Amino acid sequence: MCFKCVYPKGLTGWLLVLALVAVFASVLVGLVYAPAMPVARAETLKGRVDYYGEHEGSKAQGPQQNGFLGRVTDGRTGKGLGGATVSVPSKGFKTQTDGSGAYRIREGVLDTQKPMILSVEKDGYAPFSITIRQSQSPPMQLKLTQLASGIVLDSQLRHLGDGSYAPASSGAGKMRLPAQGIALQIPFRLNGHPVSDKPTLVIGSIIGLDTMMAHTVEGNPMGVSAGPLLVMVNGRQVAAIQVNGDGQRIQVPASALNPSGQNMLTVQTGYQVKGYTAWGEQQLDYDDMELMHLTLYP
């Protein structure tokens, strides 16, 4: 080959050669250091679910997709309920069931070891929730009960406490929402609902209680012990809740309710004494816990 034929001539020729060398070098570096392309994978959530509510482990109808697949049905007829809202409030996730009652929670929402509350709501039905302690791959069927004479007092996820956690607290590193204070107060009226001999208040789910009984039941080390969660109606204490769980039923004395006027439900978290000030005043550490769904059946 004639070297003179390919030898660059003048400044323009040399600039062209340098440009070609730079392009070649950048391509070579890109091939060596380029990251691997992501590979699409079909994965399902694994683990287990601890719950106390109305549920079944049967598979939902419809194609299996990534994530957690379940189905919501009418507890009496067994038919799928379309348009029900399924949510994981602490994760900001919400979806609706399709016409057959099927729903899907996208992958990763339940992929955690920390307890969280799964909620199901539909007009005309009592709100329902279960505590999820670990993720689970098999689909799950949830049954809703028609509301009938019940009154939904509150359907939001509530975090009660002071946002201060002892290292051994059940809520340490688990509560995702900011604390709303040490007590929740809900005014309500019965609106013509007749009062039975045994009115009942149902709390959908409670997590994070640090009572001695809660630690004992759940097998946690006793590093901290707070007082129970107090429930009061019109200033009258009707329950002192010691354990976490779903579907907790509280008998309310009929005499505690005002059938024709305003009523007030108060839920107040417990506390422990963590020390004393120089003036002898108690320093209190309020228990951080979460609860959801308050329904009264007068």
* 23-28 mean pLDDT: 40
Domain boundary among 83, 118, 148: 148
Total count of domains within the chain: 2
Q: Which two tokens stand for residue 121?
A: 């709501």
* pLDDT tens profile 148-166: 889 999 999 999 998 887 6
Domain assignment present for residue 12? The answer is no
Question: CA 221 to CA 134: how far, in whole Å?
Answer: 20
* 229-248 mean pLDDT: 96
Buried b (16+ CB within 10 A) or exposed e, 161-189: beeebbeebbbbebbeeebeebebeeebe
The answer to whether the beta carbons of residues 264 and 184 sit under 8 Å apart is no
Question: CA 69 to CA 45: how far, in whole Å?
Answer: 10
Same domain membership, residue 221 and residue 165: yes
Same domain membership, residue 154 and residue 141: no
Across all residues in the chain, what is the average pLDDT? 77
Question: CA 145 to CA 181: how far, in whole Å?
Answer: 32
pLDDT at 10 (0 to 100):
59
Number of Cβ atoms within 10 Å of the Cβ of 52:
13
pLDDT at 218 (0 to 100):
81
Same domain membership, residue 160 and residue 141: no
Sequence-separated (6 or more) residues with CB below 8 Å from residue 181: 160
Same domain membership, residue 292 and residue 165: yes
Sequence-separated (6 or more) residues with CB below 8 Å from residue 74: 80, 81, 143, 144, 146
The amino acid sitting at 170 is S
Task: Point out which residues pair with 153 in neighbouring strands.
Answer: none
Domain boundary among 127, 148, 169: 148
Domain assignment present for residue 155? The answer is yes
**Boundaries of domain holding 175:** 149-298
Same domain membership, residue 47 and residue 88: yes
pLDDT at 39 (0 to 100):
23
Higher local confidence (pLDDT), 273 or 120: 120
Place of tokens 């002898």: 280
The answer to whether the beta carbons of residues 101 and 72 sit under 8 Å apart is yes
pLDDT at 89 (0 to 100):
92
* pLDDT tens profile 180-199: 899 999 999 998 888 999 99
- DSSP three-state, residue 208: coil
Number of Cβ atoms within 10 Å of the Cβ of 17:
13
Same domain membership, residue 159 and residue 63: no
Domain boundary among 126, 148, 170: 148
Element (H, E) at 132: strand 128-132
Domain assignment present for residue 14? The answer is no
Number of Cβ atoms within 10 Å of the Cβ of 253:
12
Same domain membership, residue 165 and residue 98: no
